[in-house]
Amino acid sequence: TEDPRFYFDTIIMVCIFISTICLAVDEPIPPEVAKEQFILDRTAILTAIDVALTMIFGIEMLLKMLSLGFIFGPNAYWRVGWHIMDGAVVIIAFISFFSSLSGNSGGSLKALKALRAFRALRPLRAVSRVPSLKTMVNAILMSFPAVMSAFVINLLFMVIFSIMGVQMFAGTFDY
């Protein structure tokens, strides 16, 4: 007998893959231009797929919260960093979906439509399901302090040489 979670995780990974493909194919074209170029059909299909995937990811989030617990417990959904990232991506997708569903073109709703940019985080959901990727991303995140100190030293040298360059070549390249 196989683990029933295998099928669930496989279906979710396929959905993440489809979502990534849709994000790569999607073009932010205004509706007026899309009508002229006959791109409206593709945009409608991608929107329908995005809505379906958002619903699937929402159901996944609810099922995980029911099985793991909401906040209480050592492995509760909102206590594990990867689940928090997954939940945030799904919640932002729902906010974006409902803001576009209202159809009102007010300024506040246009600001909410900017949340669609966070759909780019959907492929990161795959990281939490592949242990070797999770280990690699954790190692990269743990190396940030050392990288930041090297970045600051590099930035310091760049500022010093920039000041020297401005002093040496001041007025030489008039154009």
What's the pLDDT score for residue 100?
Answer: 74
Q: What pLDDT score was predicted for residue 82?
A: 86
The reported pTM is 0.74
CB 64 within 8 A of CB 83: yes
Report the alpha-carbon distance of residue 102 to residue 108 in Å, rounded.
12
Residue 75: per-residue pLDDT: 87
Q: Specify the DSSP element, H or E, that contains 166.
A: helix 144-169
What are the residue ranges in the chain where pLDDT is below 50? none
Give the integer Cα–Cα distance in Å for 54 and 68.
Answer: 21
How far apart CA 37 and CA 147 sit, in angstroms, is 46
